[in-house]
Amino acid sequence: MSETSHSSAGVDASDGHAAEALDAAAHHGGGHEESIGDTVLHHVTDGNTLELPFVGDVHLPEISIGGLDLSITRHVVMMWLASLILLLLFGFALRRRQQVPRGLANLLEMLVVFVRDELAIKNIGEAGRRFTPYLLTTFFFILTCNLLGLVPLMATATGNISVTAGLAGMAFVMIQWGGIREHGLVGYARSIVPHGVPIWLYPIMLPVEVVGMLVKPVALCLRLFANMLAGHFIIVSLICLIFVLKTIYVAPVSVGFAVFIYLLELLVAFIQAYIFTMLTSLFIGMTVHPH
């Protein structure tokens, strides 16, 4: 009886030590995963620091007015930088008026003509000419923000849902303004529900059409945000895989795949700027020509 008790006690003690060891290992592993996760999130999300070469992290001003956070963040700086680049780029390209543009001016003119003819006029009609400046601003701004995210030490402002929501909000305003300008406020309100719908269906169709109006900018917002965030998330995760597995042998595979995704992101940067602008022009055309 005594021997059995001692044996049972020994087994219980052994199980207790094993459980403690497993708990410690799990805790240690969880901490490691958390640190890797923090590293990934630091590179793909917004923050109040800006990493500069030879300087390191620079803390950006934190501003709060009446409880409203108006701090200057990393993505705000990227949007300012994108705007400055566009101003300098077009100012440099158009510093001299040429009948036959060459070099950079020729490239920019080609993109401008493409947006005007293939997006604005094609989707909206001749009325699309008045929307061309807005569509050009949208296209070049999104494209520049997308490309800046691929530069080392930079960040992708379009990978922030607040930025894409702001762009989608402006698109929503332009979409509604296009219909109101073309048909008048009363005429546009009447065109929300398709002509020929029986009067008894209005209580059903009107909420459906209003929800459809709101879904369009939401789709623009989420599509751009998800596509730009996903690519950078994969690139950083592939690089972190080397440190997670703690072996140099996985480096060629991780770096190789990361370079492939990086090159793919160059294509995605242009595609997403095109899709956002194209869908915006298409939605404007649907309000200008509702039926």
Q: What is the pLDDT of residues 198-217, one digit of tens each?
A: 888 878 888 888 898 999 99
Task: Report which of residues 84 and 99 the model is more confident about.
Answer: 84
Q: What is the pLDDT of residue 81?
A: 95
The pLDDT-based confidence of 99 (bands split at 50, 70, 90) is low
Q: What is the pLDDT of residue 122?
A: 93
181 has pLDDT over 50:
yes
Query: Is 1 a member of any domain?
Result: no
Average pLDDT (56-77) is 86
The pLDDT-based confidence of 116 (bands split at 50, 70, 90) is very high
Query: Is 281 a member of any domain?
Result: yes
Domain that holds residue 116: 48-288
Task: Report which of residues 2 and 96 the model is more confident about.
Answer: 96
Query: Is 143 a member of any domain?
Result: yes
Q: What is the pLDDT of residue 15?
A: 44
Query: Is 257 a member of any domain?
Result: yes
Quick one: CA dihedral 175, 124, 273, 83, positive or negative? Answer: negative
Query: Is 27 a member of any domain?
Result: no
Query: Is 18 a member of any domain?
Result: no
Query: Is 235 a member of any domain?
Result: yes
Of 88, 82, 230, 217, the C-alpha closest to 157 is 82
What digits encode the pLDDT tens for the residues 42-63? 677 888 888 887 777 888 888 8
Task: Report which of residues 37 and 93 the model is more confident about.
Answer: 93
Query: Is 131 a member of any domain?
Result: yes
177 has pLDDT over 90:
yes
The total of structural domains in the chain comes to: 1
